[in-house]
Amino acid sequence: MIKALTPFMCLIFAFSVALSVAQALPTESGTVWFNGRATHMGQLFSYETSAGNVGTLVQGQTPKLWDGLGFLNNDIQVIPDTRYGHVYAIRAGVGSHNPWYDPGPGIAASELTRARPNDLGKWDWFSGGFRINGGLTGPGWTMLYQLGYPSLGSPPLALDLVKRNGRLYYGLFRNAGLLTKRGNSSFYQGSSFEDRPLVQVPYGKWVDFIFGVKWATDNTGELRVYARVEGTHGYKLLVNKSRIPTWQYGTTPAGSINASGIKSSGEPARVLDKGGLYFGYWDGRSTFPTESLLETGMTRSSNYHAAASTLP
């Protein structure tokens, strides 16, 4: 015979459950520091009236959410969506790039950028969702989100696309710790590097991500990555790493930043959080297909629950 719990035992049981939940996830109170969701964007445009002449650039956004509109040809537009109200429709092809920087042949970019101080020693929680309807099979490399980017080389943390056995996956890209030149190439690789698949791309469905990162150039960093595929219930924890570097430092042709986040000029390094479609081909080809996808817009919050609240 099972005995009923006394009020005191119920209190102890409830406290135990609450404690285990608190240890599994951050506290429910939190703050959304930046919300770049397309639902908040009324108008967005960026184009040159004379192609190739940045002096004829026409740009605008209402309201002003983003610090940088890194696209041309109106390659990012706000469109209606039945799941999220409004989303960004993003395309990139030959001639798509930041108006102030052309990376050269074989590369295309259409991105939105937010600038901020580096958060060394602190946690940031990013959220955002993507839907690839089809056609995009993955060029040589593809970046979707570049987080905490100090402009030294490849980003310290990114959501990318990777191919494995002919299948396309959303992937985790990390290039953290001390950057050193790799052989005779122009690539500066971090002491902690990986590029691994996370979720196979389910064409025609939304996949929402939450990245929680404690920024560090030494082994005090932490990383959590969650994903939710449209049609499934709740987020699934995919990555749970501790005692790793999550940010980068060193000297490259682009500049020099020390392990404390200070530039050679003595100023604290600032970083960029970038979202959109940035891809390239290793052979530097001059012609290639225009690729496209849908994105909710990036958010940045103080903890998991605040981040999850931006993608109901």
**For residue 236, what pLDDT band results from cuts at 50, 70 and 90?**
very high
**What CATH number is given to the structural domain containing 155?**
2.60.120.200
Q: Which of residues 29 and 220 earns the better pLDDT score?
A: 220
Specify the higher pLDDT residue, 57 or 233: 57
Please check the confidence at residue 17 and state whether its pLDDT lies above 70.
no
Determine contact, residues 48/99, Cβ cutoff 8 Å. Answer: yes
Query: What is the pLDDT, as a whole number, of residue 180?
Result: 97
Rounded mean pLDDT, 104-131: 97
Residue 293 lies in a domain: yes
Q: Percentage of the chain with pLDDT > 70?
A: 91
Q: Residue 146: what residue type?
A: Q
Please compute the mean of the pLDDT values over residues 145-172 and round it to a whole number: 96
129 part of a folded domain: yes
Q: pLDDT tens across 22-48, in order?
A: 333 444 679 999 999 999 999 999 999
Range of the domain at 273: 31-309
- What are the structure tokens assigned to 299, written together? 């958010």
Kindly indicate the confidence band of residue 184, based on its pLDDT and cuts at 50, 70 and 90: confident
**Confidence at residue 135, expressed as pLDDT on a 0 to 100 scale:** 82
- Degrees, nearest 5: CA angle 239-126-291: 90
CA 269 to chain centre: 19
pLDDT at 10: 39
Tell me if 299 is assigned to some domain.
yes
> CA torsion sign, 157 to 163 to 164 to 167?
positive
What's the per-residue H, E or C state across the chain?
CCCCCCHHHHHHHHHHHHHHHHHHCCCCCCCEEEECCHHHCCEEEEEECCCCCHHHEEEEEECCCCCEEECCCCCEEEEEECCCEEEEEEEECCCCCECCECCCCCEEEEEEEEEEECCCCCEEEEEEEEECCCCCCCCCEEEEEEEEECCCCCCCEEEEEEEECCEEEEEEEEEEEECEECCCCCCEECCEEEEEEEEECCCCCEEEEEEEEECCCCCCEEEEEEEEECCCCCCEEEEEEEEECCCEEEEECCEEECCCCEECCCCECEEEEEEEEEEECCCCCCCCCCEEEEECCCEEECCHHHHHHCCC
- Identify whether 3 is part of a domain: no
Has residue 160 been placed in a domain? yes
Q: Does residue 15 form part of some domain?
A: no
**Over the chain, what is the mean pLDDT?**
91
Q: Do the domain assignments include residue 150?
A: yes
102 burial level (CB within 10 Å; 0-12, 13-18, 19+): middle
Give the mean model confidence (pLDDT) for residues 35-64.
97
* pLDDT number for residue 28: 67
Above 80 in pLDDT, residue 193?
A: yes
Give the pLDDT score at 134.
Answer: 86
How many domains, the chain? 1
Average pLDDT value for residue range 280-303: 96
> What is the arithmetic mean of pLDDT over 247-271?
97
Which residues, in sequence order, are bridge partners of residue 301? 32, 125
**pLDDT of residue 302 exceeding 50:** yes
Residue 99 pLDDT more than 60?
Answer: yes
- Please check whether residue 93 lies inside any domain of the structure: yes
pTM assigned to the model: 0.89
